[in-house]
Structure 1
């Protein structure tokens, strides 16, 4: 794939800093979510079933064991792809706390889990996925402390959309203001923020995606992740999909909107992801999300034809 030719990618940014490819190792640290445990609600967001995007979800392994297994899988995959084994002693990884809300616990427990992950000598960074309404000042200070020690630290905030009506419709449990407040506090502390956005949410159009991007960029962020909406087994949306009450985004429309968003993004913003896929039988729709490279190829084709990151911006 040649996305690095059109986008400021996370992989390229890590390689520039560390001089080599750096992989993320996803970790399930047994966190929950205020939208599931009754604090805000139960059942979660209408699109949510975490096991569709975290293959460690539900694991009984501890954090150290998950990291060990993750490193083994990465090295095995690399060896099969290259036909030989590279020197594993030089491998570098980011510990990615992905499952559920990874800042939603007591401070001492959060610190213990993060500390366990970074004690591995191959871990050079920490990425923490969470909700905008679950990031107290103490957590921001903790992440800033890790960064001061030389780790590559990212706070990954799941906004999904800036449209207040959509946030209510999908039972998100927070609004734009919580997101804006957390971004402001994180940036004051020098923590890099990566914002997650979903395209294809019910009732939204291309104009909504562009408006969300505009609002997010105006706040000032460091990274973006764009995902297509997945209809997954066990989610509230699965019921609506089975009743033919949901319109599923076509691959062509997704590639068009992602391309337009990338062209409207300043070149210093790092794109951590522009597509995602899920496996059956957990994935119900859209079908193209079951094939890892379909969206990537379509997006690259769009960027090749119409231009890459920042090219829709004026160059005064």
Structure 2
């Protein structure tokens, strides 16, 4: 009987998944993003320098298994601490985040994404604390998340983005990409903006991104991500996301939960007699 995965790889205080010279590497990556005014310009530069963007069936990298995003889901940048996002927010977006932090410090935290039916969306999906799975083919790659049954499709068959006259904003946006060897390079646009998650920033519909994905060893998939948003951010927001392969027993493979239900993590909130709220009583019936 296969097992359903539900594990958290939260870092201890002072622990880091990055190399010792990470601060200098991170600054180099930040500077790399600053060379371009838009994510699309960055993406096209990467595409123009690629020597072979076609992935043949016998070249598909092995990303099989279930992975857990390293770090607490309370932060998008693993280097951050909760309530202290490193994004260079501006205008009303800086104000909205400051208001969230003030409310959280006063003990008032809300997170409608933890309820039923509301997906996290992109880019908040990247930091989800529940297992992730990747389905890689020559023509598209699916990034699947257990939480909220989220699925993001990245098309690598050479198609362009949806034409402007047909495009509209969605939770995960429109993602295209190409392969350079074992590395997947993507561009995403046309998200519906909105909230990244609990005590995290809001972004606008102008948000776009570049990602560089690669499996760096037998256990870890790494994604370098640059978020651009002319409405919400002063400068691109760079992060490195790492997904670690979950161990599993031979012959007893892990699998994602078949269907995300808010009853499973006990996210049903009910009113109490005194007018307050609490979670529904937990039982196994």
TM-score normalized by structure 1? 0.26
TM-score normalized by structure 2? 0.27
With a CA cutoff of 8 Å and minimum separation of 6, indicate the structure with the bigger relative contact order. 2
Higher helix share: 1
Higher strand share: 2
